[in-house]
Structure 1
């Protein structure tokens, strides 16, 4: 999630994003909504799951060493990045996390919840990290909303992927939409709290500044609702992270429901979000990301999911601009 979420603004999956029914979000978090533990695959572990044999184990905070796990919050609705299959959370992010776990000697345990609540849950201590195609933006780093109002302490990001915003439409493109600029005066669907919601808001202002009608933006609690709106014709287009939109067009309805139009725009980094006070974990994750890039594991994971276009050469901390 450019949530620019992209899977993802202050909440920028472009994808960063997150809100809706508190009751639903709470239920998702409490029940785990298909929680998945990724086996770290370490050779030597004790009863807590930790491994002193892993090359970067000593880099972790003692609390995580003792626990043997890194609790990760996600919103498992963004294939191929993170989604549910057979009762498990799978995708690019869980596979990358499993590879990081091998270097760190701990397991990543994923819990799926509301995207727009991930950072709040992280800073409350519910998770150690949030990993959900979250676009690394200055606003999210600083805990600001779209208008610069302080919402919270913000987070640090360990950047591991890059993606932009893409527009998808019904197969056959009946309204002849070729870019986000063509959405002036039209209805577009999007997930609330994402960076691509912000992209639509920015474009809508450009429409009115240019003497055209604004975009009628319909924001939904989850991306599935936005997709349904486009599929039914209630919205002429949806906006999402580029790899998510491409995967959706390829798979939904056997490839007969949607198509992606134009090029991705506003490409930016996805980051693993970490509490700003947990600098040691941030540094350890940066080392681990670089380690899987250097040994080729990272490339193999992206190739497995057809996400090679988002590859980076080196991890960064707070690289979003």
Structure 2
């Protein structure tokens, strides 16, 4: 996506890889000009950098091929086994959902945790868990790559905005990226790239600059 946007905008770019924890501080310090990663927008971060938002985050539920328990969302979770990442927002959400089940006189959700996504994949494929919950794009790609054993059961669009962060007061660069994204939205390239890289097109948001 970033290469296509910079090419569309006619901006020459040099890419550098870095550890996640150091990227935003490097941007704030002016050591890099742009951070393009899965960076959630927050008002606190927007006090330090400028954002061009272009997509939202999503959570997915992946099950065995054929969806044997016919799980179509969290409302179907009572009495089933959900696999979630240890300490994640999905774990907290499912513990709340399990409480809602018992409060309503239904069976609780049995919650399994995994230390890494590979373990979560195995729990579903070995039928130890009915559903694995994780990042929507990650699970969508895995289910496409493993169609004989898995499929997506449901998706939840969280509404958390994801954007490109640009060093403050670099207005020309900010507008170049914004214009590139808007052109790609208008001509369909943005959607094509989402599909090409096995990301759910429903995650796309209209391009928007956020500075506070």
The verdict on a shared fold, with TM-score over 0.5 as the criterion, is yes
Number of equivalences: 200
Is structure 2 residue 22 aligned with structure 1 residue 129? no
Other-structure match for 2:72: 178
Q: Which residue matches 2:117? A: 223
Q: Which residue of 2 aligns with 1:309?
A: 202
Higher strand share: 2
Question: Superposition pairs for residues 1-321 of structure 1, below 5 Å?
Answer: 96-102=1-7, 103=9, 104-111=11-18, 118=20, 120-125=21-26, 129=35, 131-132=37-38, 134-136=39-41, 141-142=43-44, 157-192=51-86, 194-252=88-146, 255-262=147-154, 264-272=155-163, 274=165, 278-280=167-169, 284-285=173-174, 287-295=176-184, 296=187, 297-305=189-197, 307=199, 308-317=201-210
More helix by share: 2
**Rounded Cα–Cα distance in structure 2 between residues aligned with 1:266 and 1:298:** 18
Describe the shift of the 1:142–1:203 C-alpha distance in structure 2 as closer, same or farther (beyond 3 A): farther
Contact 1:129 1:272 in 2 (8 A): no
Tell me, what secondary structure is at the counterpart of 1:131?
strand
Q: TM-score, normalised by structure 1?
A: 0.49
- Residues in 1 aligned to 2:95 and 2:55: alpha-carbon distance in whole angstroms: 24
Q: Partners in 2 of 1:202 and 1:130 — Cα distance?
A: 33
Q: 1:142 to 1:232 in 2, by over 3 A?
A: farther
1:296-320 deviations in Å (ceiling 9; x for gaps): 342442343354333333234389x
SS of the aligned residue for 2:144 comes to helix
Contact 2:121-2:132 at 8 Å conserved across structures: yes
8 Å contact kept, 1:184–1:213: yes
Measure, in 1, the Cα distance between the counterparts of 2:50 and 2:85. 23
1:288 offset after TM fit, Å? 0.4
Pair 1:208–1:241, CA change in 2 (3 A) = same
Instruction: State the TM-score, normalized to the length of structure 2.
Output: 0.69
CA distance in 2 between counterparts of 1:316 and 1:247 reads 29
Q: Any unmatched runs of 5+ in structure 2?
A: none
Q: 1:223 to 1:266 in 2, by over 3 A?
A: same
Inter-CA distance 169–293: structure 2 relative to 1 (3 Å threshold): same
Gaps of 5+ in 1: 1-95, 144-152
Instruction: Summarize the Cα distance change of 1:208–1:284 in structure 2 as closer, same or farther, 3 Å threshold.
Output: farther
Contact kept, 8 Å, 2:53 with 2:210, in 1: the verdict is yes
Q: Distance in 1 between matches of 2:40 and 2:89?
A: 7
